[in-house]
Amino acid sequence: MGWKPRLWAGWRPNGVGEQKPNHYRDMARVAWANRAHPAYAYRVLTKGACDGCSLGVAGLHDWTIDGVHLCTTRLDLLELNTADAIDPLVLSDLAPLRSRTGGQLRALGRLGHPMRRRRGEAGFRRVSWDEALSVLAAGLRATTPARTALYLTSRGITNETYYVAAKASRALGVANIDSAARVCHAPSTVGLRQTIGVAATTCSLQDVIEAPLVVLWGSNPANNQPVFMKYLYLARKRGCRVVVVNPFLEPGLDRYWVPSNVESALFGTKMCDLHVPVRPGGDVALANAALQRLIARVAVDRTFVDAHTEGFDEMATALSGQDTDHLLALAGVDRPTLESFVDELARAGGAIHVWSMGITQHRGAADTVRGIVNLALAQGAVGRDGVGLMPIRGHSGVQGGAEMGAYATALPGGLPVDAEHAAGLAATWGFPVPDRPGLTAPEMVEAAGRGDIDVLWMSGGNFLDVLPDPRSVEAALGRVPLRVHQDVVVTRQMLVEGDDVVLLPVATRYEQEGGGTETTTERRIVFSPEIPRQVGEARSEWRLFADVANRVRPELRAAFSWPDNAHLRREIAEVVPLYAGIETLADTGDAVQWGGRHLAEDGVFPTASGRGRFTSLEPAEPQVPDGSFVVSTRRGKQFNSMVHGQVDPLTGAGRDAVFMDAADASALGVASGDRVRLRSDTGSLEGTVTLARLPARTLQVHWPEGNVLIAGGPDRREPQSKVPDYNAVVTVEPLEGAEPG
């Protein structure tokens, strides 16, 4: 396909002088950072499945596009895979480490040896694997399952590890197992399962390239799934239109330079045709208003609605009682913009709706997902080429973690936790399985704070950075009598003093014995082969979870004894029929996509009635006192909570930036670069004013730094999925002599 100058971002070669990432300089920096083991780094890049985001790539090629698939997120993560083990003495005195950032702790190197610290000791001392595992096994035996909690993050963890952890947890009677999918897309799981019967992306990445319209709701793939921008570039060359629904038009979604494409690398690509500047939490109102207008303009696909859905008439009746102007006021969107949005939807006749944390990390998140589903169903935008619902995942392990049952509210296969499904699984596994949902990640920490948890066993993760209100998280962690952290690097939560804290060094996904699989955001189960390397005494996690289960329940040894993990994959295929084919994967590039290219193919939904369900939704009224602002959390140069740069190359903003609209800044008497203090009921945060076009009385600060402003607790979560609401009401106080206006 020829070049398309009308899509160019500008005429300056490579966007010189523009605020944008310099991918080529970043690559040179990463090559230097990995100079100690260049051959190993090369093998990881050319043989392994990326341990970054959820798009998925094996080696340097994916299943969607010709040419190279690589981004700086993957390169930034490479250092974790090539670092050498830390000298254990570095951890013998924690005082000098306490002030270090997460990045500085990671720079120490790989965790190489089991270590232990008792209350009152200055730091960790090296112990044997046998001592470390004996402590954990004794702790598990000494308490009850209800006072035990297990959490796994998605830090490169494979499906094999998730599966064994999920099985080991249930073998110990522990229902309290959760993973990073909780604070990420749990509301998507709830909203999608109730409406379309399946909690996964309904289309494939190929559909993005073939889409007439992509609507990005509260997501920033330019930052979080960079190669998605290459798919979008290819789509735009074919005529795809792009709508960005977000309070802030992220610069990377406005214009992007795709480094591996000569045209885009040279002249950039305009990515956004329409920006809909919705207020935080205003998405349900916007979706309702858009659907009202689609109905009024007879732009609904009645044939699809009549043949394949239910609840449309009730929903439409409820919608007709809602005043459009009021909906627009709640959404913070003007009528011309709404009409432009509806024009785009109607002209395209369906879209790929992509959403992420800007949608899910709100108290009303599951309703917002239902609102997006309403729009898609009304246009028959499910189950065919070029359309679909895509809750895009940020991690390579999130989808698989939940589907392997490392989840408080689902058994393997995403099955509900109830008596019927627990009994079925018990018959398969040969031991009783808890038949009630367990504590979710935020509930685990709250239980710990009440003194209700005796053993907290974590694979990766960093509750101190990830959950709201870090002060109360730290206090809660300190109350747990036995904490076990298994990880590849040192994290800040490991430094929190407890009665007994044990560190277990584990292998990366690439070092893992027998390799392993991940499940991408398009439901593709992807194999990553073992790329052998031994760092200190690190062990493969699937072996580790099995070892602990065997120590605590030796009578179940047969259930936790696989000669290799190819046998384990065979078991996964039997226990989770969705994953049939996983047992055939053995080499780089091997993959199987569960559900095929489209879910709900031809409008047949996996619901009890076989139909997709509309939902009548009442938008929430915002509660923002006069003089206050709503602050939302945003991402910069980082991967999850791992900050990779103090300045975001896409925005030019530092980590302490307080994004603020010029009108609000003027009313406060502050200007770009001025210092301000934000105060919420939970805490305060100082930062630097960074002007950005935002809805009135809304602010953005970086996550996880902004977590000090965010309240935890049951009232501050989405009620069904339990995902925390990462937004807060704050006041803003100018500092350093700035004059209020």
Give the DSSP per-residue string, 72-104: HHHHHHHHHHHPPBPPGGGGS--GGGTT--HHH
Candidates 21, 52, 114, 218; binder of ligand SF4 (CB under 6 A) is 52
Q: Which stretch binds ligand SF4 (CB under 6 A): 66-74, 151-159, 676-684, 723-731?
A: 66-74
H/E element holding 678? strand 675-679
Minimum separation from the CB atom of position 21 to ligand SF4 (A): 13
Yes or no: say if 200 and 413 are a contact pair by the CB < 8 Å rule: no
Please report, as residue ranges, which positions from 322 to 381 form the binding site for ligand SF4 (by CB under 6 A). Answer: none
- Of 70 and 389, nearer to ligand SF4 (C-beta) is 70
Structure tokens at 40: 């190993």
Minimum separation from the CB atom of position 490 to ligand SF4 (A): 23
3-state secondary structure 3-64: CCHHHECCCCHHHCCCCCCCHHHHHHHHHHHCCCCHHHHHHHHHHCECCCCCCCCECCECCC
Distance, CA of 470 to chain centre: 19
Q: Which stretch binds ligand SF4 (CB under 6 A): 53-61, 111-119, 703-711, 722-730?
A: 53-61
- Is there binding between residue 509 and ligand SF4 (CB under 6 A)? no
Minimum separation from the CB atom of position 520 to ligand SF4 (A): 8
> What is the Cα–Cα distance from 349 to 386, expressed in whole angstroms?
11
Give the DSSP per-residue string, 212-274: SEEEEES--HHHHSTTHHHHHHHHHHTT-EEEEESSS--HHHHEE--TTSHHHHHH-EE--SE
For 403, residues 6+ apart whose C-beta sits below 8 A from its C-beta are 159, 410, 412, 413, 414, 519, 576, 578, 579
Yes or no: say if 356 and 372 are a contact pair by the CB < 8 Å rule: no
Please report, as residue ranges, which positions from 540 to 559 form the binding site for ligand SF4 (by CB under 6 A). Answer: none
- Is there binding between residue 392 and ligand SF4 (CB under 6 A)? no
Yes or no: say if 237 and 208 are a contact pair by the CB < 8 Å rule: no
How many residues of this chain interact with ligand SF4, rule: CB under 6 A? 14
For 721, residues 6+ apart whose C-beta sits below 8 A from its C-beta are 182, 186, 187, 189, 190, 365, 366, 409
SS3 667: helix
For 563, residues 6+ apart whose C-beta sits below 8 A from its C-beta are none
- Of 78 and 366, nearer to ligand SF4 (C-beta) is 78
> What is the Cα–Cα distance from 445 to 699, expressed in whole angstroms?
28
Please report, as residue ranges, which positions from 646 to 705 form the binding site for ligand SF4 (by CB under 6 A). Answer: none
Minimum separation from the CB atom of position 57 to ligand SF4 (A): 5
- Of 227 and 502, nearer to ligand SF4 (C-beta) is 227
Distance, CA of 529 to chain centre: 24
- Of 637 and 716, nearer to ligand SF4 (C-beta) is 637
CA separation (Å) from 613 to 363, 371, 601?
A: 22, 11, 16
Candidates 56, 191, 442, 706; binder of ligand SF4 (CB under 6 A) is 56
- Is there binding between residue 225 and ligand SF4 (CB under 6 A)? yes
Q: Which stretch binds ligand SF4 (CB under 6 A): 68-76, 323-331, 457-465, 497-505?
A: 68-76
Cis peptide before 704 (omega within 30 of 0): yes
Minimum separation from the CB atom of position 3 to ligand SF4 (A): 24
Yes or no: say if 269 and 233 are a contact pair by the CB < 8 Å rule: yes
> What is the Cα–Cα distance from 427 to 39, expressed in whole angstroms?
47
- Of 167 and 230, nearer to ligand SF4 (C-beta) is 230
Please report, as residue ranges, which positions from 227 to 246 form the binding site for ligand SF4 (by CB under 6 A). Answer: 227
Minimum separation from the CB atom of position 257 to ligand SF4 (A): 15
Give the DSSP per-residue string, 327-349: HHHHHT--HHHHHHHHHHHHHHT
> What is the Cα–Cα distance from 726 to 703, expressed in whole angstroms?
9
Candidates 43, 74, 384, 483; binder of ligand SF4 (CB under 6 A) is 74
Minimum separation from the CB atom of position 391 to ligand SF4 (A): 16
Candidates 48, 88, 226, 514; binder of ligand SF4 (CB under 6 A) is 226
Minimum separation from the CB atom of position 261 to ligand SF4 (A): 14
Helix residue ranges, H only, 576-661:
none
Minimum separation from the CB atom of position 454 to ligand SF4 (A): 37
Candidates 30, 41, 45, 57; binder of ligand SF4 (CB under 6 A) is 57
Please report, as residue ranges, which positions from 22 to 51 form the binding site for ligand SF4 (by CB under 6 A). Answer: 50
- Of 80 and 580, nearer to ligand SF4 (C-beta) is 80
Structure tokens at 486: 């298994």
- 283-296 helix and 312-320 helix, angle to the nearest 10 degrees: 100
- Is there binding between residue 523 and ligand SF4 (CB under 6 A)? no
Candidates 23, 34, 65, 73; binder of ligand SF4 (CB under 6 A) is 73
Give the residue at shortest CB distance from ligand SF4: 52
- Of 126 and 185, nearer to ligand SF4 (C-beta) is 185
> What is the Cα–Cα distance from 482 to 118, expressed in whole angstroms?
9
DSSP state of 514: T
Question: Phi and psi for 475 in degrees, rounded to 5?
Answer: -60, -40
Q: Which stretch binds ligand SF4 (CB under 6 A): 15-23, 117-125, 221-229, 582-590?
A: 221-229
- Of 644 and 722, nearer to ligand SF4 (C-beta) is 644
- Of 78 and 330, nearer to ligand SF4 (C-beta) is 78
Minimum separation from the CB atom of position 299 to ligand SF4 (A): 34
- Is there binding between residue 55 and ligand SF4 (CB under 6 A)? yes
- Of 521 and 690, nearer to ligand SF4 (C-beta) is 521
Please report, as residue ranges, which positions from 115 to 134 form the binding site for ligand SF4 (by CB under 6 A). Answer: none
> What is the Cα–Cα distance from 137 to 150, expressed in whole angstroms?
13
3-state secondary structure 372-414: HHHHHHHCCCCCCCCCEEEECCCCCCHHHHHHCCCECCEEHHH
* Contact mark string toward ligand SF4, 524..543, x via CB under 6 A: --------------------
- Is there binding between residue 70 and ligand SF4 (CB under 6 A)? yes
- Of 512 and 721, nearer to ligand SF4 (C-beta) is 512
- Of 57 and 376, nearer to ligand SF4 (C-beta) is 57
- Of 139 and 226, nearer to ligand SF4 (C-beta) is 226
- Of 258 and 289, nearer to ligand SF4 (C-beta) is 258
Minimum separation from the CB atom of position 228 to ligand SF4 (A): 7
Candidates 23, 43, 47, 69; binder of ligand SF4 (CB under 6 A) is 69
Structure tokens at 605: 């939904």
Minimum separation from the CB atom of position 295 to ligand SF4 (A): 37
Minimum separation from the CB atom of position 225 to ligand SF4 (A): 5
Structure tokens at 689: 């004013």
Q: Which stretch binds ligand SF4 (CB under 6 A): 63-71, 323-331, 438-446, 587-595?
A: 63-71
- Is there binding between residue 71 and ligand SF4 (CB under 6 A)? yes
Taking alpha carbons only, the member of 458, 514, 455, 518 closest to residue 488 is 458
DSSP state of 622: P
- Of 60 and 415, nearer to ligand SF4 (C-beta) is 60
Minimum separation from the CB atom of position 74 to ligand SF4 (A): 4
Minimum separation from the CB atom of position 156 to ligand SF4 (A): 11
Minimum separation from the CB atom of position 51 to ligand SF4 (A): 8
Within 10 angstroms of residue 500's Cβ, the number of other Cβ atoms is 17
Minimum separation from the CB atom of position 71 to ligand SF4 (A): 3
Binding site for ligand SF4 (CB under 6 A): 50, 52-53, 55-57, 69-71, 73-74, 225-227
